[in-house]
């Protein structure tokens, strides 16, 4: 068993920021998304509590493996969730505690199951859409028509939507990358009408002395008045204001994911579709239907923002599964 590193008295009595605050500062300095920040802080806190609040420098490889086993065996989390917890812990050691000890590389990641994604048929897409309306329908149109993840659609700012070029710019997507994807012309009328209503809401907020939004990174310092500009506002703002914990700014954040997920779940049920479908099924369907229409795999990879074409190749299994095989029952 690897010996744990002992803390010095100076480390224990230091007046430096608390460990989780250090993690938060480091993540924000490296421009990680809010969602990643929340997830990493959650897992690191859980890891520390699991080990009776011992400082991570006092822990070893065995402590990490025991925690990951707890997640997999007793809590029955998926391989991807287990790997996210491990990524958070490794981030803590490497980036915050600056520990590059050999055993960090020896911790084994859980092997993810190679599952075929759930995909809607084109008829099922139409059925689901017939039970959607208003903002939720527009958002789902972007999930299926542009291949967006739900979080990406909700984080869109007005400036990210280009009707002239029929495209959407996805900022700080998975892997902290920007990408450009297509914008379906069929969604133009409803989307333009929706954005006109958002403009009126923003105009009303300004009259009330509000109307500011939270700008990404340090843009508020570079452009002091940009937070009032309409094009920086969220395309799908929430009905109520929230108060930012750090700055104290009262502003409209975007609609919460759970409200759209509920609408999607209800629409799928009303459409009578017996599949374990979710908001992500629209993105899977976008990729699969493009493949069926003859678009090449590299183009689809870029539209989806996948790092590796291997990730995109999973959709070829969807359309090739059983293709060309005549069942013996039909002979």
**What CATH number is associated with residue 49?**
1.10.150.130
Residue 278 falls within a domain, yes or no? Answer: yes
Given the residues 67, 93, 137, 149, the one annotated as active site: 149
Burial of 74 (0-12, 13-18, 19+ CB in 10 A): exposed
Mean pLDDT value of segment 174-186: 89
Mean pLDDT value of segment 148-159: 96
pTM above 0.85, yes or no: no
User: Is there a single domain that holds both residue 253 and residue 222?
Assistant: yes
Among 57, 75, 106, residue at a domain's last position: 106
Given the residues 5, 45, 174, 210, the one annotated as active site: 174
Residue 234 DSSP symbol: B
Task: Mark whether 256 is an active-site residue.
Answer: no
* Tens of pLDDT, residues 208-266: 999 999 988 777 778 888 999 999 999 999 999 999 888 899 999 999 999 999 999 99
Given the residues 45, 54, 127, 280, the one annotated as active site: 280
pLDDT of residue 260: 97
Task: Mark whether 315 is an active-site residue.
Answer: yes
Question: 40 pLDDT exceeds 80?
Answer: yes
Name the more confident of 326 and 306.
306
Distance CA 151, CA 142 (A): 11
Task: Mark whether 306 is an active-site residue.
Answer: yes
Distance CA 310, CA 325 (A): 25
Residue 204's domain comprises 122-316
User: Is there a single domain that holds both residue 175 and residue 28?
Assistant: no
Task: Mark whether 251 is an active-site residue.
Answer: no
Task: Mark whether 75 is an active-site residue.
Answer: no
């Amino acid at each position: 068993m690897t010996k744990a590193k002992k803390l010095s008295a100076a480390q224990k009595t230091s007046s430096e920021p608390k460990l989780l605050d250090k993690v938060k500062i480091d993540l924000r300095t490296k421009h990680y998304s809010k969602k990643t920040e929340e997830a990493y802080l959650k897992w690191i806190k859980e890891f520390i509590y699991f080990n009776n609040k011992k400082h991570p420098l006092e822990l070893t490889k065995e402590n990490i493996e025991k925690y990951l086993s707890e997640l997999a065996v007793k809590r029955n989390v998926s391989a991807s969730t287990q790997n996210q917890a491990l990524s958070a812990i490794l981030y803590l050691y490497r980036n915050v505690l600056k520990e590059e000890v050999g055993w960090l590389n020896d911790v084994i990641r859980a092997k993810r199951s190679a599952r075929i994604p759930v995909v809607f048929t084109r008829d099922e897409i139409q059925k689901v859409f017939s039970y959607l309306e208003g903002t939720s329908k527009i958002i789902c149109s972007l999930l299926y028509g542009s291949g967006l993840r739900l979080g990406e659609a909700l984080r869109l700012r007005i400036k990210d939507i280009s009707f002239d070029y029929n495209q959407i710019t996805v900022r700080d997507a998975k892997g902290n990358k920007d990408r450009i994807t297509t914008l379906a012309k069929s969604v133009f009328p409803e989307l333009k009408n929706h954005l006109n209503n958002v403009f009126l809401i923003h105009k009303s907020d300004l009259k009330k002395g509000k109307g500011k939004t939270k700008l990404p990174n340090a843009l508020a310092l570079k452009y002091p008045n940009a937070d009032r500009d309409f094009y920086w506002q969220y395309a799908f703002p929430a009905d109520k204001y929230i108060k930012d914990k750090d700055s104290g700014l009262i502003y409209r954040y975007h609609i919460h994911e759970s409200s759209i997920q509920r609408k999607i779940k209800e629409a799928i049920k009303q459409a009578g579709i017996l599949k374990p479908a979710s908001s992500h099924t629209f993105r899977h369907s976008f990729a699969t239907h493009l493949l069926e229409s003859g678009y090449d795999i590299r183009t689809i990879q870029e539209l989806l923002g996948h790092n590796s074409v291997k990730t995109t190749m999973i959709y070829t299994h969807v359309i090739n599964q059983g293709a060309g095989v005549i069942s013996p029952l039909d002979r």
